[in-house]
């Protein structure tokens, strides 16, 4: 019997194997490492959970989901098969990325809507300033301004938008305007290049070379705010339908220079066209009533109601909320 001088403890529980090589009479011990059981990456699980939550919380959980997913993939690759969860890590990265991308898709329409609401409010404020200027003109002159000032031959020479400038704009623009010649005469070339911002709807795109254009047009035609058959003069006493029920200025799809004597012509023999009122505001147009209020008129409003609002003495009853 051979007795070992230094006994070697064999750890059976850790699966160590004792090999004896007797070719040279030596004792050789080979110890095999313990094999740990496979487990799932906690980071992969967290990545998947955060990725799913990112559909509701977007950036708050989407970015952490992507980071944890990437870290768990790296740990899984280094574990040599001891850590699982690759599929969950990839799913976490994908869902987290989608959640992050959803944020701009959700926020952008809201931001654009808020901006358009602000522009519409500014547009309404412009029309309110125009209404106040018209009222002040009427107080000073006993009547509202005609749609245009004619020359000696009755030809339109300048717009009502020029006539109300002293009641709305610093007097420099008005004082430099030459009323003895047409609005586009070379003698007025410097003045008409002045941009009157109150005549510019902020929602309307500004085309190159048309920075001084406006789409705020007076309603003209038989029975309207400016009626050529009535002698071109409209006084308060002429508006029998009531100031709060009569439209004087509208926002149109057509753009003209602010000094040009061009406006909306309402012909009783021709139907109103939606194309005359479509503009940068979706679904309708802003209208200035003669009491100074500004209301949004839907394009779906029946034509007879819009005509009734254009009329100053037709005795029509158009309740608010019906347009």
Phi, psi of 139 (to 5 degrees): -65, -35
Q: Is the pLDDT of residue 13 over 70?
A: no
pLDDT at 12 (0 to 100): 40
User: Which tokens sit at 233?
Assistant: 């003069």
Strand partners, 218: 249
Read off the pLDDT of residues 275-317 as tens digits, 9 standing for 90 and up: 788 777 888 899 999 999 999 999 889 999 999 999 998 888 8
Separation of CA 246 from chain center: 30
**Span 31-47, mean pLDDT?**
68
Which residues contact residue 109 at a Cβ distance below 8 angstroms, ignoring those fewer than 6 apart?
A: none
Percent of the chain as helix, strand, coil, to the nearest 5: 40, 15, 40
Report DSSP letters for 223-253, one per residue.
TSSB-GGGTS-B-GGG-TT-GGG-EEEEEEE
Read off the pLDDT of residues 243-276 as tens digits, 9 standing for 90 and up: 999 999 999 989 999 999 999 999 988 888 877 8
pTM: 0.68
């Amino acid at each position: 019997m051979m007795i070992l001088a230094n006994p070697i403890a064999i750890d059976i529980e850790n699966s160590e194997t004792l090999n004896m090589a007797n070719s040279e009479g030596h004792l050789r011990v080979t110890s095999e490492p313990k094999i740990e059981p496979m487990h799932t990456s906690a980071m992969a699980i967290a990545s998947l959970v955060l990725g799913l939550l990112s559909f509701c919380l977007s950036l708050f959980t989407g970015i952490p989901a992507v980071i944890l997913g990437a870290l768990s993939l790296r740990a899984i690759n280094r574990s040599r098969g001891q850590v699982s969860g690759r599929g969950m890590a990839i799913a976490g990265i994908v869902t987290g990325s989608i959640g992050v991308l959803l944020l701009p898709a959700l926020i952008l329409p809201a931001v654009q809507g808020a901006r358009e609401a602000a522009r519409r409010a500014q547009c309404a404020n412009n029309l309110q300033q125009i209404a106040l200027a018209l009222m002040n003109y009427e107080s000073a002159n006993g009547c509202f301004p005609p749609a245009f000032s004619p020359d000696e031959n009755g030809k339109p020479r300048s717009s009502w938008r020029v006539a109300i400038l002293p009641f709305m704009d610093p007097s420099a623009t008005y004082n430099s305007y030459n009323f003895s010649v047409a609005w586009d005469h070379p003698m007025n070339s410097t003045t008409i290049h002045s941009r009157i911002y109150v005549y510019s709807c902020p929602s309307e795109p500004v085309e190159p070379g048309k920075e001084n254009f406006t789409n705020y047009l007076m309603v003209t035609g038989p029975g309207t705010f400016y009626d050529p058959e009535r002698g071109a003069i409209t006084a308060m006493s002429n508006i029998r339908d009531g100031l709060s029920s009569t439209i004087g200025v509208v926002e149109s799809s057509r753009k003209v220079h602010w000094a040009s004597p061009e406006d909306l012509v309402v012909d009783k023999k021709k139907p109103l066209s939606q194309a005359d009122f479509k503009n940068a505001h979706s679904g309708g147009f802003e209208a200035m009533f003669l009491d100074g209020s500004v209301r949004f008129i839907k394009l779906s409003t029946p034509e007879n109601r819009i005509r009734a609002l254009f009329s100053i003495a037709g005795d029509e009853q158009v309740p608010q909320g019906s347009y």
